[in-house]
Amino acid sequence: MTTPAELTAMLVCPDRGLAQQFSAAVAELKALNIIAEVKEYVSPVVLDQRMKQLRPDAVLIDVGSDRQAALALVGHLAAAHPGAALIGLHGSNDPDSILLCMRNGVAEFLHAPFLLTDSEQAIMRLVRRKQTEVRNQPSRGRLIAFVPAKGGAGTTTLATNIAHRLSRASPRRVLVADFDLAEGTVAFLFKLNHAYSLLDAVKHSHQLDESLWGSLVAPRGNLDILPAPEKPYAPPIEAYRVHECLEYARSIYEHVVVDLSSISDKLAAATLTEADRLYLVTSPELPSLFLARKTLSLLEEMGFHKEQMQVLVNRVHKREELSPEDMEKIFRFPVLASFPSDAAAVRRALTEGKPVEDSSDLGGALRRFVERFEAPQREARKKAPSAGLRGLFSEGQLVKG
């Protein structure tokens, strides 16, 4: 016999007596894990925050204490969080409540005295539904690493803005993680004041689950952010812990975008071995171009294939002395895409703590970059939605931003 998959749930129950009665009745159900309790009918905004933080598989909601308030939350949850199963709880077997709940999106209805057999059957139906959904989802997200050829190339700006635009185009959530433990600025770009960082994820890599991970990352729409620690961190990190974190992230995100400081530190080495795609970011200045050539050679010595690596040229001026073809001759590698120098748009984005606007020159280039390489993904989803990821980026294409 196989062990049933665990169903995580959030309990919303103003009736504390009913909550205690239900919790006691299902205490023996190993397939159900109540990860949080909300003791009142909160606003949809507060509920959304809890849902994004905890990401439960199901919400158990008291529909008897205040039917109108409960059904309003049920309707909101059904629309805003369609992936979460809704379970109505009531003090009695009330036919009217059952009918109203089902019409509003409730999947199961349980009532006092909460017989163990009834509760177990309902929970196992949802567990089987969860197992089916997991089987039909792409099994492993893509890991995309951004690394600078030289400091000051604008790597973090490209990584965060591309991650943001991927999150708008992707059906599943996207993660951007700041792996620069000394000078990470992803939190600054998003104006985050977050209590946790990559270090917390690494330290608890063997304990990661939906509840813990939900508290470690900061959500922004369909994009989750895992910032670097607030203070610079120098001690080494075990490679296996980095691997555990990345594997967990890839199990729940469609794209995991990692912002690295260089290829020389041990954290980068542990990360690059996991990457599906590596973007080397350079500026058009000669020192940066020559360092890009050295970095590409080093990456090939490390065992990376040319198909895994792509060069992005950032901060290109309209009257640039060197053409993309000239740059390619310098570092003997094709340029995948170039992005214009747009200091005003970047400064405005930094001031507001938001991504670069699509209406700007840089924003337009970023949007076209993501749209072009997301197009094959959209076609693949239409033709075979359960076939898994077919590869985010097509090979050998040259994009001029």
Average pLDDT value for residue range 284-294: 91
Per-residue pLDDT band at 162 (split at 50, 70, 90): very high
**Fold agreement between 7-136 and 142-383:** yes
295 or 376, greater pLDDT: 295
Q: What CATH number was assigned to the domain covering residues 142-383?
A: 3.40.50.300
Q: What mean pLDDT do residues 70-97 have?
A: 89
Residues 6+ apart with CB under 8 A from 250: 140, 141, 142, 143, 256
For domain 7-136, which architecture applies? 3-Layer(aba) Sandwich (3.40)
Q: How confident is the model at residue 380 (pLDDT cuts 50, 70, 90)?
A: low
Average pLDDT over residues 103-116: 90
Locate 163 and state its tokens: 């991650």
Q: Under 8 Å CB-to-CB from 288, ≥6 apart: which residues?
A: 149, 150, 153, 282
pTM of the model: 0.63
Q: What is the pLDDT of residue 279?
A: 95
Check residue 398 and give its pLDDT. 39
**Structural domain spans, the chain:** 7-136, 142-383
Using pLDDT thresholds of 50, 70 and 90, give the confidence band for residue 397.
very low
